Every structure is written in C-alpha cells, then in structure tokens.
Amino acid sequence: MVRAIRGAIQVEANDRDAILSGVTELVSEVMARNALTTDDVISVIFTATPDLTAEFPALAARKLGFHDVPLICASEIDVPGALPRVVRLMAHVETGKSRQEIQHVYLRGAVALRVDIAQ
C-alpha cells in the first residue's frame, strides 16, 4: 500500500547547519518510527517557511542516502502569525501499515502544529 506520512520541525535559525541538522533529525525520526528504509520511500515533498532560505531541506535527505528518491522543496505560504522557521515534509511510502499505524512526526516547536497527531 502507498501511505503518506507528515512531519515537521522548527529549526533554531535561518542557518545552513541548523536547517540540515533539523531536517536530518526529522527524516531520521520518520524513518525509525515507521520502520522504513529508503527503498520504501516513493517521494518526499519538503516545504520551508519563507524565513528559511539558507539551504534546501532536501540536501539533508540526500546526505542520509535518499540518492534515487525523488525529492522537491517548496516555500510554505506566508500566513500572518504562523509558526516561524518550520520545515515540513510529506513522504509517500510503500508499507503494509494501516493508516492508523502510521506515525506522523512533529518535533521541537512544531509539535504545536498538530497536537492531535504528534507522537
């Protein structure tokens, strides 16, 4: 089955290392909590709030071994009052898990975005 997994992390600053470190943590947690390998991943869409411009979030996934996985980055819409410095992802994966078994991952300040499903 194909499932979508959501996740987000709030990073400390618009800094290349902060973005790469945060996205590495986020992707690693999504993979671990859902018992996935890169072979299970169909594609990943990353978005970043408009205040994060120092690096492409997908680079962190490439460094984790997502060499043949289609990745794309986009800018999140600039909603007044939205949580700043957030990278979000939506990963499409092949898994035998039911929709209810999928673990969506919200880390650091991004937990506030989806308290209803954050693990």
Instruction: Look at residues 88, 18, 21, 104 and name the one whose alpha carbon lies nearest to residue 49.
Output: 88
Report, as residue numbers or ranges, the catalytic residues.
6, 62, 73, 76, 88, 106, 114
Q: Where are the domains of the chain?
A: 2-113
Could you tell me whether strands 105-107 and 71-75 are parallel, antiparallel, or unpaired per DSSP bridges? unpaired
Phi, psi (rounded to 5 degrees) for 50: -60, -15
Tell me the per-residue pLDDT of 49-66, one tens digit each, with 9 for 90 and over. 999 999 999 999 999 999
Whether residue 88 is annotated as binding a ligand: the answer is yes
Tokens of 64: 């984790």
Instruction: Look at residues 31, 93, 42 and name the one whose alpha carbon lies nearest to residue 70.
Output: 42
Predicted local distance difference test score (pLDDT) of residue 114 = 73
Tell me the per-residue pLDDT of 25-48, one tens digit each, with 9 for 90 and over. 999 999 999 999 999 999 999 999
pLDDT band at 112 (very low <50, low <70, confident <90, very high): confident
* CATH number for the domain whose boundaries are 2-113: 3.30.1330.40
DSSP helix/strand/coil, 81:
coil
How many Cβ atoms are within 10 Å of 42's Cβ, its own excluded?
13
Tell me the per-residue pLDDT of 71-96, one tens digit each, with 9 for 90 and over. 999 999 999 999 999 999 999 999 99
